[in-house]
Chains A and B, each alone.
Chain A
């Protein structure tokens, strides 16, 4: 898993006060407060690290009404080392915590696929909660092409 600067910033921004990250968080203006609150509910303020998670979502979507996404987490999925949950956040949705899916060793593999609605062009963040209490993440920018078409008339 590549550690891209953008992912790092997004993750840092979401944390709002993660140890040693507050300066970076201050710069990541794109992340609204609601997302930080929603994210904190999930992580309890624990450090969010980029990596181990792959979020697949199209970079461009027509209207955002039904967007396919999948999340895969690297994990052996054993009793001692597995993914406890996968959470997806969309910073510009009215309810940023789009979905939380709880897994266990019996899930076999840590992969989920679903469809979500995206209210606007935005960053989508996937967070994996591991059995050792660590949190890992990946994020992607999604452009809703129709957003530009309707912004002007509303």
Chain B
């Protein structure tokens, strides 16, 4: 392994921001957490980010908004959506729009790992 790929976590939920980056580091990635899409965009780590773990429902700019924004910026960062909302019908739509995966909380680490693998492989 070379430099570990950066995975950015954007979620307004604190517990996610707390727990997920650690898990990702255990997976061997480097991880950063952002509380909002704006914070992420304002950071210097947009280009560096190899994969984005993005919450769907956030106050202000939502996950999909960020997705669109990145597409406009031609920042092709693979996105893995995570959401606490229970509507399964959103998943196909999101995949059509270019997301790698959409995971429903609470998700298992295995599911996450698989999704990461897809995202980075695509990349």
A joins B in a complex? no
Chain A residues near B (Cβ < 8 Å): none
Chain B residues near A (Cβ < 8 Å): none
